[in-house]
Structure 1
Amino acid sequence: NDTSLCVALVRHGAAIFAVTSSDGSVAADKCDPYRPGYADCHAYLTGVEQALGVQNNGLVYALWDYQAALWDELSFREGQPLTVLRRAPPEPPQDRPRDRDREQAAAEPQAPAQWWWAAHCGHRGLVPRAYLGLYPRVRPQRKKV
């Protein structure tokens, strides 16, 4: 529930939509409502969730490399800027069926879209939202010995 720590993490490339393996929670879900600072911390993190892919004309940064596995996905490298065109996948053309997992997720309207439609260097495709950040990922510099 430390808002200043959350701000620092986001500004250094935190993956706001990364999910925990134990329960599938995102960062905002991990704020503890029984500890001081909950309201500010939760409001900040949910605000970042809402801003990602919307603010700065949809500009986001790739936090890791991603190699497209299907015809409708977009490959990208860590640090590359991407433009989010839509915070949900578009409907697939009739002649190219969508991946079964994405089809099932699309049938659950209450669930947020895990894949967003984005562009990079004239190419468009689906990108996993958990790989995106408001800022590029900052890596520590290694000291030469």
Structure 2
Amino acid sequence: MEIRNKQNFGAGVFFAAFGGFAAVVARGYTLGTAEDIGPGYFPFWLSVLLGVLGAVLAVSSLAPRAQRTEVGRLDWKSMLWIVGAVLLFAVLLAPLGVILAMVALVLVAARGSHEFTWTGAVGSALVLGVLVYLVFVQGLHLQFPTWPTIFA
């Protein structure tokens, strides 16, 4: 068997492995039933779905009709911008609040894109900041700071 689509194969193996790992971890929580859902129910079934999706993706990359692709070299600079943005978000969440930390995340992560423009990054940051506020603060009532403590 030949791996024709190396990108899909790599992504599929990663999804399947991560889904399997997450399912094992989620089994440590009470699953409950469909009628009486426990804290591990959603993470378990979501990770199972991710694992199945990964397996399907990996197997489909072996099909004779699969598009041929190669995996290029890893772009370390882009990866560092994106990973750095996530770490920066974690550091800034408590002092700045979720909205400004999300804006910082998007602006820094956008630098990892080869199609980076400040207009697109600022627009995306503003839209995501509003969505984070509406979904997580207003909709789900999650308990983390919304704004910096000096504004509270």
TM-score computed with the length of structure 1 as normaliser = 0.28
Report which structure shows greater RCO (CA 8 Å, sep ≥6).
1
Normalized per residue, the structure richer in helix is 2
Structure number with greater Rg is: 2
